[in-house]
Structure 1
Amino acid sequence: MSAPERIPARRVSTRDPELLARGELHVRGQIREASNAVLLCTVKDGDREATCVYKPVRGERPLWDFPDGTLAQREVAAYEVSEALGWGLVPPTVLRDGPYGEGMCQWWIDTPEEPSDGDGLLALVDGEEPGEGWKAIGFAEVAEGRTALLVHADDPRLRRLAVLDAVINNGDRKGGHLLVDEEGRLYGIDHGVTFNVEDKLRTLLWGWAGEPLTEEATGALEALRDRLREGEPLALRLGELITAAELDAVRERVAALLKSGRHREPSGEWPAIPWPPV
């Protein structure tokens, strides 16, 4: 996702969700590449100002496998789980009223205008092996019947994101949903098709499939398991955003990851890679 223009805004010291929740939204334009209505906004509260994305519920396209009008809540739920894991992989995201009704409001992530070579997270390479520092995703047709190997970086930031996606059952982890900000911090965006009870995991981040989870990931999942117990604040908050059955499914996915001790593998019952991949 990219802005139609760079909008100057007063910098705030932290990406504060309270500014998103309480500030006044001013629509500046529409991001037309998106499949649902996505509005680029400025949010203001006194002398504080920031750029954000606002996705009103009324602008969501109906999907056959998700209840109508629930994508905004799922985006907020993904942020809550990301925060609970302690990895900060999703920009601050809130559910609030706006100029076009209730919707999701998310902090805008500025990316470098000219990213350095080190920011590359995806690549196409010749041959059948990914090479050092890369993980294989699969072969892709590039031109005139020629194929190349699609790879992603063997990057701990992406590895954490692969765990988050397995927990929230992300059905659409495309390359364009990976953003690296000007400080080199990785974020994942566009989490509307998540938390389905049925296995919908569809992602580019299969490079660690079947490999043991890191100690860091295991510790984060154990802490998340505890915070998902009945009556815990996180469980109560998620209960406001997704259904009881979907919350139980989150608990089951966390338990399954901890029991196996390994990264998820494709189920074979659902397309493993989103289309288009980027």
Structure 2
Amino acid sequence: MPASERVPAIGDGLSGDAVGGITGAELLTHGELTVLGRLRDASNAVLYCEIAHEGVTAHCVYKPVAGERPLWDFPDGTLAQREVAAYLVSEATGWGLVPPTVLRDGPYGEGMCQLWIDTPGEDGEDADDGDGLLALVDAEEPAPGWKAVGFAEVGEGRTALLVHADDERLRRLAVLDAVINNADRKGGHLLPAAQGGLYAIDHGVTFNAENKLRTLLWGWAGEPLTEEAVEVLGKLAAELGDGGLGARLAGLITAAELAALRERVADLLRTGRHPEPSGEWPAIPWPPI
């Protein structure tokens, strides 16, 4: 198919913007889904697909509900809905951190569909290791431009300091994760894209009513939120009313989870600071990558 008829990769700038008169969400919702293969390293069934609609095609991932493994602390068969809810909240912030994601029927039943993200190096280009976002360093303190997460064992009784970049894209993501109560923000979920973009994936274990925040992005813990974040959270609080975003989320998460989401946003606005580990739940996911 000619390039002009293909949706550009997420890494080339596609998010919710229309391409050929079709947005990413519309393409995912109405397109014909063809399974091309399976990503076998995932803990749940993740299928690599092509999606086509009105002469526009793209690649996407499809996670059927039937392929979800039960979790002790989340209701069965709800991970796909949580991925869609994370996308809706991300879009409401205006930060565009989560690729277009919808809930739809597919070859193996209802599931989550999300546009595929091309990262530097997938087309033969040279790629930086994680785009310089994460590192293990032999030091007691982070260098300028980096934030410390904590010490990690690296074998033979040695430890190294885990750090992440002091990057505004990551800081926005840290706020989003605090809002959606992300219980599994690993390094492999951070996907740097072309032209300086950053996207985050794998949001199935989010929105729990209990505090389960686990992340590698603790570098700003306890620090004041940026003015931008406070403004975004204020708008998000308004949109989480009974209409609009709140009504859409009510069809994806439980009433208790929606109430907890509103409370988390209110708490962030009240404290004006990034959250700190509670001590009641492991603060860093395992494995971290």
Query: By the TM > 0.5 criterion, same fold?
Result: yes
Match of 1:92, as an amino acid?
P
**Using a 3 Å threshold, how does the CA distance of structure 1 residues 10 and 177 change in structure 2: closer, same or farther?**
farther
- 1:241 maps to which of 225, 249, 252: 252
Q: C-alpha displacement at 1:9, in angstroms?
A: 10
Secondary structure (helix, strand or coil) at the match of 2:206 reads coil
Secondary structure (helix, strand or coil) at the match of 1:94 reads strand
Q: Hey, what's the Cα distance between the residues in 2 that align with 1:20 and 1:11?
A: 14
Name the stretch that deviates more: 94-103 or 10-19: 10-19
Q: State the Cα deviation string for residues 171-227 of structure 1 (Å, max 9, x = none).
A: 000000000112221011000000000000000000000000000000000000000
Is the contact made by 1:9 and 1:50 (CA closer than 8 Å) also made in structure 2? no
Q: How does 1:36-185 map to 2 (within 5 A)?
A: 36-113=44-121, 114-116=126-128, 119-185=131-197
Q: C-alpha displacement at 1:118, in angstroms?
A: 8.6
Aligned to 1:12: 7
Match of 1:209, as an amino acid?
A
Structure 2 length-normalised TM: 0.91
Is the contact made by 2:63 and 2:112 (CA closer than 8 Å) also made in structure 1? yes
Q: Hey, what's the Cα distance between the residues in 2 that align with 1:267 and 1:117?
A: 31
**Using a 3 Å threshold, how does the CA distance of structure 1 residues 138 and 9 change in structure 2: closer, same or farther?**
farther
Is the contact made by 1:10 and 1:50 (CA closer than 8 Å) also made in structure 2? no
Q: C-alpha displacement at 1:10, in angstroms?
A: 5.1
Aligned to 1:222: 234
Match of 1:192, as an amino acid?
G
Q: Hey, what's the Cα distance between the residues in 2 that align with 1:10 and 1:186?
A: 25
Secondary structure (helix, strand or coil) at the match of 1:148 reads strand
Aligned residue pair count: 270
Query: Structure 1 residue runs of 4+, over 4 Å off?
Result: none
Match of 1:176, as an amino acid?
G
Q: How does 1:178-217 map to 2 (within 5 A)?
A: 178-217=190-229
Q: Hey, what's the Cα distance between the residues in 2 that align with 1:71 and 1:119?
A: 28
Q: Hey, what's the Cα distance between the residues in 1 that align with 2:26 and 2:154?
A: 45
Is the contact made by 1:174 and 1:203 (CA closer than 8 Å) also made in structure 2? yes
Q: Hey, what's the Cα distance between the residues in 1 that align with 2:90 and 2:130?
A: 25
Structure 1 length-normalised TM: 0.95
How large is the RMSD of aligned CA atoms in angstroms?
1.4
Q: State the Cα deviation string for residues 42-85 of structure 1 (Å, max 9, x = none).
A: 00012100000000000000000000000000000000000001
Identity percentage of aligned residues = 74
Secondary structure (helix, strand or coil) at the match of 1:238 reads helix
Q: C-alpha displacement at 1:164, in angstroms?
A: 0.3
Q: State the Cα deviation string for residues 130-181 of structure 1 (Å, max 9, x = none).
A: 1111000000111211111000000000000000000000000000000011
Is the contact made by 1:78 and 1:191 (CA closer than 8 Å) also made in structure 2? yes
Gapped runs of 5+ residues in structure 1?
1-7
Q: Hey, what's the Cα distance between the residues in 2 that align with 1:169 and 1:126?
A: 31
Is the contact made by 2:130 and 2:192 (CA closer than 8 Å) also made in structure 1? no
Secondary structure (helix, strand or coil) at the match of 2:74 reads coil
Gapped runs of 5+ residues in structure 2?
9-13, 16-23
Is the contact made by 1:94 and 1:104 (CA closer than 8 Å) also made in structure 2? yes
